[in-house]
Structure 1
Amino acid sequence: MLNALVTVAAEEEAHNPLIPATYDIIWSAVCFVIIAIVVIAVAIPRLNKVLDARSAAIEGNIEKADEAQRQAEAALAEYTQQLADARREAGEIREGARVDGKKIVDEARANAQAEAERITVSAQTQIEAERQAAMISLRQDVGSIALDLAGNVIGETMSEDAKAQAVVDRFLADLEASEKAAQ
Structure 2
Amino acid sequence: MSILAAESPNPLLPVVGEIIIGTIAFLVLLFVVWKFVAPQFEKAFQARRAAIEGGIERAEAMEVEAKAALEQYRAQLAEARNESAQIRDAARAEGQQILEELRAQAQEESDRIRARGEEQLAAQRQQIVHELRGQIGALAVDLAGRVVGESLAEDARRSGTVDRFLDELDGMAATGDGRGGAVPVGESNR
Please tell me the TM-score bracket, short chain as reference: 0.7 to 0.9
Which structure dedicates a bigger proportion of its chain to helix?
A: 1
Unaligned runs of 5+ in 2: 182-190
Q: Which of the residues 164, 169, 180 maps onto 1:175?
A: 169
TM-score of the pair, normalised by structure 1: 0.80
Q: Is the 8 A contact 1:144 1:159 kept in 2?
A: no
SS of corresponding position for 1:157: coil
Q: Give the residue type in structure 2 aligned to 1:165.
A: S
Indicate the residue corresponding to 1:118 in structure 2: 112
**Cα deviation 1:127-157 (Å, max 9, x = unaligned):** 1122112111210111012212333555543
Indicate the residue corresponding to 2:63 in structure 1: 69
Q: Give the residue type in structure 2 aligned to 1:61.
A: G
Moved over 6 A (4+): none
Per the alignment, do residues 25 and 177 of structure 1 end up closer, same or farther by CA in structure 2, a change over 3 Å counting? farther
**Cα deviation 1:63-117 (Å, max 9, x = unaligned):** 3323322222222222211111111101100000000000000111011112111
Alignment of 1:136-147 (within 5 A): 136-147=130-141
- Structure possessing the higher relative contact order (Cα contacts under 8 Å, 6 or more residues apart): 1
Matching of residue 8 in structure 1 with residue 2 in structure 2: no
Distance 1:124 1:150 in 2: 37
Q: Which of the residues 31, 34, 40 maps onto 2:34?
A: 40
TM-score of the pair, normalised by structure 2: 0.77
Alignment of 1:28-177 (within 5 A): 28-152=22-146, 156-177=150-171
Unaligned runs of 5+ in 1: none
SS of corresponding position for 2:83: helix
Q: Is the 8 A contact 1:159 1:165 kept in 2?
A: no
**Cα deviation 1:8-54 (Å, max 9, x = unaligned):** 29x87xx573x544344333322221211111111011111222222
Larger deviation: 123-132 or 85-94?
123-132
Distance 1:58 1:161 in 2: 130
Q: Is the 8 A contact 1:151 1:158 kept in 2?
A: yes
Percent sequence identity over matched residues? Answer: 39
Two-structure CA RMSD over aligned residues (Å): 2.7
